[in-house]
Amino acid sequence: MPDTPLTPASEPRPAARTVHAVGETSQGGSTAAASSGDARPIAAEPAAPGCKKTDPIVVADDITRSFGGNIAVDVEHVEIPRGVITALIGPNGAGKTTLFNLLSGFDKPNTGRWSFDGTRLSGIPSFKVSRLGQVRTFQLTKSLAMLSVLENMKLGAKGQRGEHFWSALWPPAWKRQDAEIEAKAMGLLEKFLLDKKKADYAAALSGGQRKLLEMARALMSDPQFVMLDEPMAGVNPALTQSLLGHIVKLKDEGMTVLFVEHDMHMVQAIADWVIVMAEGRIVAEGEPSVVMQDPAVIDAYLGSNKDRDLGEVVAEIRAGHRETDGSQGEATTASAARPAPRTTGSSQDGMTTASAARPAGTTEEDPR
């Protein structure tokens, strides 16, 4: 089948952002601190579900995706701001990963249209989306287990001459480029502290190291927009700080980051903007400090224990279970100690005698 053409989106590109002093907003919008100390407005209007952004890199409208009779995603309008770190949060089953799959071309929606950096992406397959500068990682890492770490990295580079059949047959056509790609891969592996693992199979890495490998491989294509699906899931706490640092560096290097995460402390630590999903819809947007105080978000997702120590909460839950088990055990003991209702011995004996004396297959009315 012929490739789907990439067409520019009809929406006009937003004007360049105006730099404001810290805390100053434009048109009532929210601000995010930039690395230079200035602040750029993220929202062009008061923060609300689907609010317009000053400079969005992704704009999506009327996106729906259903599986059978279940609607997984029903997003009327959402914009991802450029040059900042945006967190996509929500309870399990809210539709976050499904929305990721749709925006990155790994799944097709029932309805909807969206654009990336002014180019319409509706119906564009994932490999073309990646070539345009939008890449993603997965909750369950997709490294090729039986290739080395370095070989996994080299796969992420774009425009490799050796990938074409006839060029591959003539090594001088791609040897020089391959050396450049390998040097770039080694530089990223050193940055992610994986250079000593370059010859190891990807299958030999720990869960956290695979997350680092997948993030490093995504950077091989020089992306503008990086989507991270639960980057901290299953990661050893010793590597958590390293991953956080790398995510912040992506923003410092001029990339836009959208990540899914359940750890609210991480969200508050690194996110400039938060989008909240529930039952497939966008239910809240805003700066982390504001969204975390939204009563609807707290009740529906974060819960009343968000500021308490996890061990304390778990101890309370276990104590409650012990009380419940104890009361159930007492009820069972009392029930076992209570004698079962009995019929009198004379009536039982009479019934037994009558049954024994009655021939098989007869009733009391039988004249025999």
| Pick from 16-25, 113-122, 346-355: least confident | 16-25
Structure-model confidence comparison of residues 194 and 351, the more confident one? 194
Q: Give bridge partners of residue 107 from the DSSP assignment.
A: none
| Helix (H/G/I), strand (E/B), else coil: 169 | coil
Structure-model confidence comparison of residues 292 and 152, the more confident one? 152
Give kind and range of the element (H or E) at residue 174: none
Measure the CA dihedral 233/236/242/244, to 10°.
30
| Pick from 15-19, 95-99, 330-334, 349-353: least confident | 15-19
Q: What are the tens digits of pLDDT across the range 239-287? A: 778 888 889 999 999 999 999 988 888 888 899 999 998 888 998 899 9
Q: What are the tens digits of pLDDT across the range 67-106? A: 988 899 999 999 999 999 999 998 888 899 999 999 998 9
At residue 20 the predicted structure's pLDDT band, cuts being 50, 70 and 90, is very low
CA distance 283 to 90: 9
Res 187 pLDDT > 50: yes
pLDDT at 306: 52
Structure-model confidence comparison of residues 16 and 226, the more confident one? 226
Res 346 pLDDT > 80: no
Provide mean pLDDT across the span 220-243. Answer: 84
Residue 155 CB: number of other CB atoms within 10 A? 15
Residue 190 CB: number of other CB atoms within 10 A? 13
Mean pLDDT of the chain: 77
Structure-model confidence comparison of residues 314 and 271, the more confident one? 271
Edge-to-edge strand order for the sheet containing 111-116? 7-8, 119-120, 111-116, 56-67, 70-81
How would CATH label the architecture of 19-136+207-305?
3-Layer(aba) Sandwich (3.40)
Based on its alpha-carbon atoms, the radius of gyration of the chain, rounded to whole angstroms, reads: 31
Res 151 pLDDT > 80: yes
pLDDT at 321: 59
pLDDT at 173: 86
Phi, psi of 205 (to 5 degrees): -80, 155
pLDDT at 37: 45
| Pairing state between β 119-120 and 85-89 | unpaired
Location of each CATH 3.40.50.300 domain in the chain: 19-136+207-305
CA distance 42 to 61: 19
Structure-model confidence comparison of residues 141 and 345, the more confident one? 141
Token pair in block for residue 148: 């080395």
